[in-house]
């Protein structure tokens, strides 16, 4: 059982033991706290899957990012690396709904996992709403959401919410020491701070070797970057062709570095708050925008440099 899941399991199993289990569940919490793993394990219990069965059980259907287009689909079919779409599309919802007119294959229940539900296209979300409003008998929906506010209010209102808490820093440190013993103290500390209670994010930060990226960001925030040299260093550390996961991790890391800079003794914390707000905006755009890695690194660096200059004036 993953860290912080005890209460979610108690609620789920109590509902399963009841007479009328709710048909739609919203699994809400930060990215990386194990909501997807919980959804699959809960679905296995729901349909009575045997040991070793799971994602390929005929009564467990998972909707997630598909290949971006037909060309990428062919790459997948050939066993080659392929690029994913940035959202879950209406065609995927329609294909799932076409199965709902039949009975479950192995028993009386089927589970539909949508991960992440907050990346449903608008039309796909509207189509899903119809299934949530008139759920077929024996069908249960598990919607994984990192940002539940992005879901349609009408979808949220039809779901029972299971909340997944963040994990204390002390437990995160123990986890990283066990699973990533190669990480030194500064790298582990940077990962824990940037992950903000998400074990999956912390492990990802360590695996991506983002400790040096964090230090480069702190250098800009503390010293400024009048000659753009530090921004160039930051761009080199981020890489020329980072994938979507690395871009998201870098943005979350930048937000964490800026948040740690906030000091109640600052004469004017406004510039730091503004910088954090801009990074939040960039993070929100990340799932749907194709960022140029070099330009993104420069934009992050420029935000940090401006905050550094403002902080110096406030401290002085």
- At residue 231, the pLDDT reads 92
Residues 40-99 have pLDDT tens digits of: 999 999 999 876 665 679 999 999 999 988 999 999 999 988 888 889 999 999 999 998
Q: Peptide bond preceding 232: is omega within 30 degrees of 0, i.e. cis? A: no
Residue with tokens 């960022």: 291
Ranges assigned E (strand) in the chain: 24-28, 60-63, 110-114, 139-145, 160-163
Task: Determine contact, residues 182/162, Cβ cutoff 8 Å.
Answer: no
The CATH number, out of the four listed (3.40.50.300, 3.40.47.10, 3.40.718.10, 3.30.43.10), of the domain defined by the range 6-163: 3.40.50.300
State the average pLDDT for the chain.
Answer: 87
pLDDT for 312 beyond 60: no
Query: How many Å apart are CA 170 and CA 30, to the nearest integer?
Result: 18
- At residue 191, the pLDDT reads 85
pLDDT for 214 beyond 90: no
Which residue, 304, 303, 278, 214, is CA-closest to 286?
278
Q: Which residues of 258-271 are buried (b: 16+ CB within 10 A; e: fewer)?
A: bbebeeeebeebeb
Helix (H, G, I), strand (E, B), or coil: what is residue 130?
helix
Domain parsing of the chain, residue ranges: 6-163, 208-315
Side-chain half-sphere exposure of 302, counting CA atoms within 13 A: 7
Please give the share of the chain, as a percent, with pLDDT higher than 70: 92
Helix (H, G, I), strand (E, B), or coil: what is residue 53?
coil
Find how far residue 13's CA is from the centre of its chain: 25
Q: Is the pTM of this model over 0.85?
A: no
Where residue 102 falls (left for φ over 0; alpha for ψ -120 to 50; beta otherwise) is beta
Residues 169-190 have pLDDT tens digits of: 999 999 999 999 988 887 888 7
């Amino acid at each position: 059982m993953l860290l912080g899941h005890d209460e979610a399991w108690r609620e789920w199993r109590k509902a399963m033991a009841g007479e009328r289990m709710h048909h739609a569940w919203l699994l809400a919490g930060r990215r990386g706290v194990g909501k997807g793993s919980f959804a699959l394990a809960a679905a296995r219990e729901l349909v009575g899957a045997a040991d070793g069965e799971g994602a390929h059980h005929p009564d467990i259907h998972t909707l997630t990012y598909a290949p971006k287009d037909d060309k990428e689909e062919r790459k997948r079919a050939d066993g080659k690396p392929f690029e994913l779409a940035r959202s879950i599309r209406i065609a995927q919802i329609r294909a799932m709904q076409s199965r709902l007119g039949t009975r479950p294959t192995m028993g009386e229940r089927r589970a539909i996992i949508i991960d992440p539900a907050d990346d449903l296209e608008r039309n796909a979300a509207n189509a899903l709403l119809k299934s949530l409003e008139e759920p077929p008998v024996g069908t249960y929906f598990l919607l994984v959401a990192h940002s539940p506010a992005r879901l349609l209010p009408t979808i949220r209102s039809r779901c029972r919410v299971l909340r997944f808490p963040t994990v204390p820093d002390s437990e995160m440190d123990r986890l990283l020491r066990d699973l990533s013993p190669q990480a030194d103290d500064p790298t582990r500390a940077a990962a824990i701070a940037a992950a903000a209670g998400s074990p999956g994010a912390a492990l990802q930060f360590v695996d991506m070797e983002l400790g040096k990226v964090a230090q480069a960001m702190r250098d800009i925030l503390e010293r400024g970057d009048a000659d753009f040299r530090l921004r160039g260093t930051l761009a080199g550390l981020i890489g020329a062709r980072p994938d979507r996961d690395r871009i998201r991790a870098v943005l979350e890391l930048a937000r964490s570095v800026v948040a740690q800079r906030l000091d109640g003794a600052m004469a004017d914390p406004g510039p730091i708050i503004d910088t954090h707000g801009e990074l939040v905006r960039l993070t929100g755009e990340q799932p749907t925008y194709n960022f140029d890695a070099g330009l993104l690194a420069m934009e992050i660096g420029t935000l940090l440099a401006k905050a550094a200059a403002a902080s110096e004036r406030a401290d002085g």
